[in-house]
Structure 1
């Protein structure tokens, strides 16, 4: 353990209860002399360690010190252990470090705190879609984003396409629908673009640096590129769907339909979609709902769904 880890460990242990130098030394596998050095270092840094002499003595902290921001309250401890469940399996590149932090938090918590954390930890679990391990790429991209370092990457735009080499200023990473995306300035296109991280075959630093635009949000950039109506010249088509509240709630919670909702009344919802989204994506999304919903308009969307269903029927009839 580093000096910082030892200092923090002593603080956590004293926060639980009074300890003697011998107890601290035994728990941390240190010499008593080293414990006294660390106690002196804590005092020099402003931590009010109280030394009680005589039988029953030892080191302790004032009662008010437990409320210091250095320590976490019950709600904060619960949030930390549950947040680690969301990170696990998402591809987050620092899961090992996060697990180490949670283990350290548990190690220096008293029995009541530990029991409470474990109860809340068991209460939240996640099912993550299996994906290609990307930790090495995500970690490097995150570092280059934070430090403003330009990278050169080998990138494939789609399945079967050849790799292209391009220089990118990485502005930020976004996790969306189980996939990681990079938003950044593409030197080849001279514009900000988004890239799927799982399509990056190679990555290396160029030695150049950049400054990210103030206030830039990779999340907002990706969202704007997906939502209809961002192009002022693109006309939006009204889509009116009738169904029960459960189906309409499901539609309105979807990333595309939820952001394009114009009006919602009992049994009916009206959306505004651009033509590309409507016929290239929305029609296929609505198909699995079958007879549980009715498309009132536009007629072209009804025809599109009928054609898709007929094509599927013909495919399986022929086979």
Structure 2
């Protein structure tokens, strides 16, 4: 691998950052579960990428790696309103709790709180009482950090990954191999998009249902033309299909039309307002499960016009 995987580099960066005195290769090998050869390669790649990684000789010549202040860059500071905005936005990001992203974010926000001071925080906490962030159905990733790290490492190092996955319909768990291709964040839940060797096709898996994951030494080659956005272009969320894209047309009654017209539901959407105040929403989709459930949520105020199988 010519360059370290961004996910692996991010995790390593966080481990180094958490130590004032840095860390030895033995420390990092134990924490990250990789070989010294891999670590040296990744550390070198981090330096080439401009990250402020420095190597120093310590006691008995043992090398210690640490983070230094970036050379030639001004110190990272925030204006008061910028720091306040970051503090107030914290509840919006809490669904990432338990992941390495949250760990780094939590450290950053702790510095922001220290910068603001107790009086300012008291003022802001009073202001935050006027905001409520609701997240019904948000997945709890608190104990899925190791699994998320493993699938991200698998994706970015192109390594086949063994997962133990709990079915949402039966509650039973099964262990099988996947080829991780990307992550999708949708309505408070994180999904893994991967080629499942068990199922012989690309599928999405809820990360909070991945109970264990381990990147194996076996490598895989992703499809040469794979693009995560293109793969989900025909979905109304995370469900995708290998079938052709077809036009979905739904007519909404006047009392629902204004709400629908004000929303951005899909990149392909086209809205046609009718003389009686109703409207038709047209979408180009290849999977109908999620859009079907969405239409049903409107009850008699929505009617599918096409395709026939969705209308039925």
Shorter chain as denominator, the TM-score bin is: 0.5 to 0.7
CA distance in 2, matches of 1:220, 1:123: 39
Greater relative contact order: 1 or 2 (C-alpha under 8 angstroms, separation 6 or more)? 2
Residue 217 of structure 1 and its aligned partner are, at CA, apart by 6.0
| Structure 2 counterpart of 1:3, from 20, 23, 39 | 20
**Which residue pairs with 1:251 in the alignment?**
260
Matches within 5 A, 1:143-158: 144-146=151-153, 148=157, 149-158=159-168
| Structure 2 counterpart of 1:88, from 88, 94, 99 | 94
**Which residue pairs with 2:143 in the alignment?**
136
Residue 181 of structure 1 and its aligned partner are, at CA, apart by 0.7
RMSD: 4.7
| Structure 2 counterpart of 1:72, from 78, 84, 88 | 78
Cα 1:261–1:152 shift into 2, 3 Å: same
SS, match of residue 169 in structure 2: coil
CA distance in 2, matches of 1:233, 1:2: 52
Residue 195 of structure 1 and its aligned partner are, at CA, apart by 1.3
CA distance in 1, matches of 2:180, 2:133: 29
* Matched-pair contact (CA < 8 Å) for 2:147–2:210: no
CA distance in 1, matches of 2:199, 2:310: 38
The structure with the largest alpha-carbon Rg is 1
Residue 210 of structure 1 and its aligned partner are, at CA, apart by 5.7
Matches within 5 A, 1:112-191: 118=125, 121-122=128-129, 124-129=131-136, 133-142=140-149, 144-146=151-153, 148=157, 149-160=159-170, 163-188=173-198, 191=201
Residue 243 of structure 1 and its aligned partner are, at CA, apart by 1.0
* Mapped pair 1:202 → 2:212: yes
Cα 1:264–1:142 shift into 2, 3 Å: farther
**Equivalenced residues, count:** 243
SS, match of residue 142 in structure 1: helix
Residue 176 of structure 1 and its aligned partner are, at CA, apart by 1.4
CA distance in 2, matches of 1:284, 1:115: 43
CA distance in 2, matches of 1:159, 1:108: 47
Residue 182 of structure 1 and its aligned partner are, at CA, apart by 0.5
What TM-score do you get using the length of structure 2 for normalisation? 0.56
* Matched-pair contact (CA < 8 Å) for 2:164–2:175: yes
Structure 1 unaligned blocks of 5 or more: 6-43, 49-64, 305-319
Structure 2 unaligned blocks of 5 or more: 1-17, 23-67
What TM-score do you get using the length of structure 1 for normalisation? 0.55
